[in-house]
Amino acid sequence: MIVRRVNVNKETRQSILKKVISENNIENQSELIKCLEKENVRTTQSTISRDMRELNIIKSHNSSGRSYYRILDDYTSTEKKLTDEERLKNVIRETGVSLVQIEFINVLTVLPGNGQLLGVLIDSFRQSFSEIVACVAGDDTILILSKSKEDAEIVNDYFKQFVPEKK
């Protein structure tokens, strides 16, 4: 049997992506791309990454500690489009683990698999937040760089209101 893969428009692709994420516990993008292929959707990893950012798809963990993708509070089902700052706050609230200031650097730790998404959101947000010079994001750690210790304190004060407090 030959399965024909079809390039679909963005709206259709994102709709199928949301359906696949909602119905399956998908652990990585390779697995996600395979699931999309089963739905006759051909796409690239970079397109999936962009779609995941736009749809507020994050990595979460179940009770056994396994990670999987999910749609963050299903904000995409509303008509309201979130700003980058609102998306940033929501993702930090959902995935934030800790925030530590070291001189002119803030180290934000998040649940594994969410660092890159937050890095992109911080990069978008820093256009209007002059105390952030740059950020470097890994899998679960983001370094937020400032020009001075004082600027880093402003950044720390802003971000710590969204990082859940340890009990």
All structural domains of the chain, each given as residue ranges with its CATH number in brackets, are 10-77 (1.10.10.10), 84-160 (3.30.1360.40)
- φ/ψ of 24, rounded to 5, equals -135, 155
Chain position carrying tokens 């893969």: 5
Q: Count CB-CB contacts under 10 A for residue 110.
A: 27
Q: How far apart are CA 163 and CA 57, in angstroms?
A: 18
Cβ(140)–Cβ(109) below 8 Å = yes
- Mean confidence (pLDDT) of the chain: 85
Q: Using the predicted structure, report yes or no on whether residue 75 has a pLDDT greater than 60.
A: no
Mean pLDDT of 125-146: 94
Question: For the whole model, what pTM was predicted?
Answer: 0.66
Cβ(133)–Cβ(121) below 8 Å = no
Chain position carrying tokens 């994420």: 21
pLDDT in the model for residue 164: 84
pLDDT in the model for residue 150: 98
Higher pLDDT, 82 or 98: 98
Among residues 142, 22, 166, 10, the alpha carbon closest in space to that of 88 is found at 142
pLDDT category, 77, cuts 50, 70, 90? very low
H or E element that contains 98: strand 96-102
- φ/ψ of 89, rounded to 5, equals -60, -45
